[in-house]
A and B are shown apart, each in its own frame.
Chain A
Amino acid sequence: GESVGLHLPTLSVQEGDNSIINCAYSNSASDYFIWYKQESGKGPQFIIDIRSNMDKRQGQRVTVLLNKTVKHLSLQIAATQPGDSAVYFCAENSGGYQKVTFGTGTKLQVIP
């Protein structure tokens, strides 16, 4: 498949370890944040979201943390598996479907 991010920051993690992927957002008016996973040659896939009135949300093996004070978002993946290898990027929504801004992404490499 084709790489969609040639110069992305890369996080290498041993299989079974936890992964933490960070994202700084820009708009203090953003009220909704989403994490997407994009595997090579595929479209982005929704992982988890969080509203600005929350600071933590948990899903299956994933947790998103939101720090509005420093405009920082993180995605934690527990017990990282080879199938988690992908590019992860955050998106912020400042209101309405046309006001979604996507980050450039972080490449997660899982070492077996």
Chain B
Amino acid sequence: NAGVTQTPKFQVLKTGQSMTLQCAQDMNHNSMYWYRQDPGMGLRLIYYSASEGTTDKGEVPNGYNVSRLNKREFSLRLESAAPSQTSVYFCASSRPTGGVYEQYFGPGTRLTVT
């Protein structure tokens, strides 16, 4: 099992450009998430998908859109990138374990917006 994979690993964008971050998991998990991680701050939830066909906003959704393409794939799109979106983005997936959700994270995408 590859677990959670993310592409690309690194990306540099100019302000106003758009891009899509890809995420896939091969663990047959129902739930998937997108987080951003900034220096000195904990992981913050951007969007999540409880199951295929559903998506919901997290703590910091502004400037992002998501697509749950199928059970395996959950993509994050920046329509018009801004310097404030410079961050490390992590995708995660989870399975319920006795009512709680153990999350498995991908390796991250390091995005710089200039």
Interface size class of B (residues with CB under 8 A): 20 to 34
Neighbour of B42 across the interface among A3, A34, A102, CB < 8 A: A102
Residue on A nearest B9 in the bound complex, by CB? A41
Chain A residues near B44 (CB-CB < 8 A): 102
Q: Does A43 contact B (CB under 8 A)?
A: yes
Neighbour of B37 across the interface among A4, A7, A41, A98, CB < 8 A: A4
Residue on B nearest A99 in the bound complex, by CB? B45
Q: Do B42 and A103 touch (CB < 8 A)?
A: yes
- Tell me the complex Cα distance, A97–B41, Å: 20
Residue-by-residue, is A30-55 near B (CB-CB < 8 Å gives 1, otherwise 0)? 00101000000111111001010000
- Tell me the complex Cα distance, A34–B92, Å: 15
Q: Does B79 contact A (CB under 8 A)?
A: no
Count A-B pairs with CB separation below 8 Å. Answer: 63
Q: Do B102 and A98 touch (CB < 8 A)?
A: no
- Tell me the complex Cα distance, A7–B80, Å: 30
Q: Do B50 and A97 touch (CB < 8 A)?
A: yes
Chain A residues near B90 (CB-CB < 8 A): 43-44
Instruction: Give A24 Cβ to nearest chain B Cβ, in Å.
Output: 13
Q: Does B75 contact A (CB under 8 A)?
A: no
- Tell me the complex Cα distance, A34–B42, Å: 14
Instruction: Give A87 Cβ to nearest chain B Cβ, in Å.
Output: 10
- Tell me the complex Cα distance, A93–B65, Å: 25
Q: Do B42 and A105 touch (CB < 8 A)?
A: yes
Chain A residues near B88 (CB-CB < 8 A): 2, 4
Q: Does B74 contact A (CB under 8 A)?
A: no
Of all A-B residue pairs in the complex, the 10 with the closest CB atoms, nearest first, are A43-B105, A102-B42, A102-B43, A6-B39, A97-B101, A32-B100, A44-B105, A104-B42, A43-B107, A7-B40
